[in-house]
Amino acid sequence: MATATAQTWKTKAEGLSYPTQAFIDGEFVDGAGGERFERVSPVSGEVFCEVVAGGDEDIDRAVAAARRAFDDGRWSASPKERRAVLLRLAELLVANTDEIAALETLDTGKPISDSLYEVGAAAQQFQYFAEAIDKVFGEVVPTAPDVVANVLREPVGVVGAVVPWNYALLMPVWKVAPALAAGNSVVLKPAEQGPLASLRLAEIAAEAGMPDGVFNVVPGIGEVAGRAVGLHPDIDKVAFTGSTEVGKLFLQYAGLSNMKNVSLECGGKSPNIVLADAPDLDLVASVSAEGIFGNSGQVCNAGSRLLVDERVADELLEKLQGQAGAWQPGDPFDEATRMGSMIDENQMNRVLGYIETGSGEGATVATGGNRTREDTGGYYIEPTIFTGVNNQMRIAREEVFGPVLSALTFSSFDEAMAIANDTSYGLAAGIWTRDLVTAHRFLREVRAGNAYVNTYDRGDLSLPFGGYKQSGFGRDKSLHALENYTQLKSTFIDLAG
C-alpha cells in the first residue's frame, strides 16, 4: 500500500478476517476445554476478538501431530521440498504485507510503519533459512584407510517454541524458520498478549504447502499452555524468548520432564557508552533515542543504560531531551508515528511503577514520566529520561521494558566498563568513540553477546543474536541458529571387519 492515512489503515484493520482458533495437524480447531480469552487492542483499550485458550490437552494434540509428521518423514526427508515451501511462504508474507501489518498494529499497538518493516524482516528470515537448507553439510573425519567416519547433522525432532509479544511476528519466525529449515516439526505457543500474527502465519504456511502436522500453533495463557510445552515429555527441544524469570522456569521444566534441550533469549539491561571523543553528539542522541524509545522500549536489547562521560553529559542530555519530542506517542495507525502504545494495561502500569520507583530512589525525571493519550483509551507512556542515576538503583539494574532511559556518568574508560559489566545481564552493549584502540578494548572486555561501535542495535541476518549471563544461551539468526535445532551423530564404519 502506498502512503495511506491513519483512517485508511484503521478501516483495513477493522475489516480484517483472521483466525482465532488453534492450528493443529493442518486445521483450525477449538480448544478441548472450550475456553477463550479476550484480545484488547492497546491502541484503544477496546476488546476486538476472542482467541482460543489452549491447555494441556491441546498441547498434547499438537505434539502428537508434530511427532507423527516428523517420524514419517513427510517434512524432514526432503530438503528440496522444504526449500520450496519456505520460499513460497516468504513470498506469501510479502504479498500479504499490508493485511498482516494492520493486524499486528491492531493486536499490539505497534506503529504501522514498524509493523510493515517487521513483515518484510520475517519474510527475509524464511528466505535466508530456505536458501541455507542445502548448504549445511556434515563432516568426513580423517581416519585410517580401512575406516570411514562421518559426523551427521540431524534435526532434533519436535521443537516447542514459546515466544513474546514485543515482535509478535518476527520473534516466532526467529525460532520457526531455522527449526523448519533443519527438518523439525514445530509446536508454537505465542504470547497471549499478541497471538494473531502467529495464527495468520500458520494459515499462510498451509497455503504455501506445509504438510499437515509440521507446524502447529496453540495460543493460550503462559502459565498453562507455555508450562505444558516446557513439561511435555515428547518435545525434544524448547526455544524460548522472554523474561529471565520465565526462562529459568523452562530450565526447571526440562529437568522435571525429559531433560529436553533448551535455548533461552532472555532479558537485558544494556549499556550504551558515550566517551568524550564521540564523533557526533547529534548522531549519538538520535541513535540513542531510537535505541530506547523504539517499539516503546519493549525491546530486550534496548539501550536502557546510557553511560556518559561527565565532560559531555550536560550537552548530550540536552540533545536527548530534544530528541524525546520526536518520540511522543501517536496514533499507531498513522504512518508518521514513531512510538505507539505499550502492549497492555498491565505493562503500562508496571513501567509507570518503575518510573515512580526511580523518583523515589533519588533519580530525576528530566523529561516525560507520565501516561499520555488517555482520551484514546489506549496504553501510552511518554518517552522518559532519568538523570542522577547510579548503578545500584532498581531502574539501572532491572529490566523496565518500556521507554525509560537511565543516564549515568563516569570519569574514565575503566570506570565506564566496570559499570557496563556490573549487571546480571549480557545481551548487548554499545560505545561511541573516535579511538580505534579504545573501541577494540571495549569489544574485547564487554560481557555481552552483541556489541556495537558508533551505532546501536544494528545487525544483519548473517550475524547471530543472543546473550551472556542471565540473558540466556543459544543464538537466533545466522547459520548458527541451525545449531539450536540440529544434533550431531557420529558414525564409524570398519571396512576391514
Catalytic site positions: 265, 300
CA nearest 270: which of 424, 390, 444? 424
Which residue has cell 517487521? Answer: 118
| Strand, coil or helix: 339 | coil
Dmax (CA) of the chain: 82
Paired residues of 490 in beta bridges: 151
Q: Are 258 and 233 in contact (CB under 8 A)?
A: yes
d(CA 464, CA 428): 12
CA distance 414 to 416: 5
* Among 285, 293, 239, 272, CA closest to 465: 239
C-alpha cell at 335: 504512518
Q: Among 77, 210, 252, 106, which residue's Cα sits nearest to residue 168? A: 106
Cα dihedral value 452, 244, 103, 95, nearest 10: 50
Residue 429 CB partners (closer than 8 Å, separation 6+): 270, 271, 272, 273, 420, 442, 446, 448, 450, 451, 452
* CA 165 to chain CA centroid, nearest Å: 8
Residue ranges of alpha helices (H) inside 403-495 are 413-421, 436-445
Torsion of CA 162, 166, 171, 237, to 10 degrees: -20
Residue 242 identity: G
